[in-house]
Amino acid sequence: MRTRQACASSYDPGNTITGATDPRLSDVHAILVTHAHGDHLGAVILNQNPDAANAVCAGNFPSITTPNSVTAEIAAAKNSAVDANATLASFIGTKIAAVLGTPTAGCPGAGLANEVVLPRTSPCTGPLNSGAKRTVRLSSSNQGVQINGVTAEHPSDPPLTTLNDQLRTLLAANGVTAAQGFVITFTNGLRVYLSGDTGWTHEMDSILKSFFGVNLVVINISDSFVTGPPEAAFAISLIQPRAVIPSHANEVATTGGIVNSGTRTEQFIYLISELRLKHSDDVRNTPRSPRRVQAHIPLSGITMQFDGDAQCVAGCRR
Q: What is the pLDDT of residues 264-309, one digit of tens each?
A: 999 999 999 999 887 655 545 556 668 899 999 999 889 999 999 9
Confidence of residue 4 (pLDDT cuts 50, 70, 90): very low
- The 10 Å Cβ neighbour count of residue 59 is 6
- pLDDT, mean over the chain: 89
Provide the pLDDT for residue 53.
82
Sequence-distant (≥ 6) Cβ neighbours of residue 51 within 8 angstroms:
301
Determine the Cα angle at 213 with ends 207 and 219, to 5°. 75
Residue 3: is its pLDDT beyond 70? Answer: no
Closest CA to 37 of 180, 244, 249: 180
More confident residue, 96 or 37: 96
Rounded Cα distance, 123 and 103, in Å: 10
What are the backbone angles phi and psi of residue 136, rounded to the nearest 5°?
Answer: -115, 135
H or E, element range at 169: helix 165-174
Distances (CA, A) of 31 to 124, 200, 266: 10, 25, 29
Measure Cα distances from 234 to 19, 79, 221, 226, 273 in Å: 36, 39, 12, 13, 12
Instruction: Look at 276 and 125; give whichever has higher pLDDT.
Output: 125
More confident residue, 213 or 53: 213
Say which residue, 4 or 48, is predicted with more confidence.
48
Return all residues near 179 (Cβ < 8 A) that are at least 6 apart. Answer: 34, 35, 37, 152, 153, 154, 155, 156, 196, 197, 198
Q: What percent of the chain has pLDDT over 70?
A: 86
Residue 1 confidence (pLDDT) above 50: no
Rounded to whole angstroms, the Cα distance separating 7 from 12 reads 17
* Residue 82 vs residue 177, higher pLDDT: 82
Angle between helices 229-239 and 264-274 (to 10 degrees): 30
Residue 310 confidence (pLDDT) above 80: yes
Asked if residue 235 has pLDDT above 80, the reply is: yes
Predicted confidence (pLDDT) per residue in 202-225, tens digit? 899 999 999 999 999 999 999 988
- Banded pLDDT at 98 (limits 50, 70, 90): very high
Task: Give the separation between CA 285 and CA 293, rounded to whole angstroms.
Answer: 20
Instruction: Compute the average pLDDT of residues 217-238.
Output: 95
Cα separation, 220 vs 290, in Å, equals 25
- The rounded distance, in Å, linking the Cα atoms of 129 and 84 is 7
- What pLDDT score was predicted for residue 24? 87
- Answer yes or no: is pLDDT of 95 > 70: yes
The overall pTM is greater than 0.75: yes
pLDDT number for residue 45: 93
Interior/surface letters 60-90, b for 16+ CB within 10 angstroms, e for the rest: eeebeebebbbbbbbbbbbbbbbbbbbbbbb
What's the pLDDT score for residue 163? 61
pLDDT score for 287? 61
Amino acid (one-letter) located at 31: I
Peptide linkage before 158 cis (omega within 30 of 0)? no
The pLDDT of residue 6: 47
For the chain, percent of residues with pLDDT exceeding 90 = 71
Q: In which band, very low, low, confident or very high, does the pLDDT at 131 lie, cut at 50, 70 and 90?
A: very high
Question: 138-194 pLDDT, tens per residue?
Answer: 999 999 999 999 999 876 666 666 666 666 665 554 455 678 999 999 999 999 999
* Distance between CA atoms of residues 196 and 218, nearest Å: 8
CA–CA dist 296, 170 (Å, integer): 41
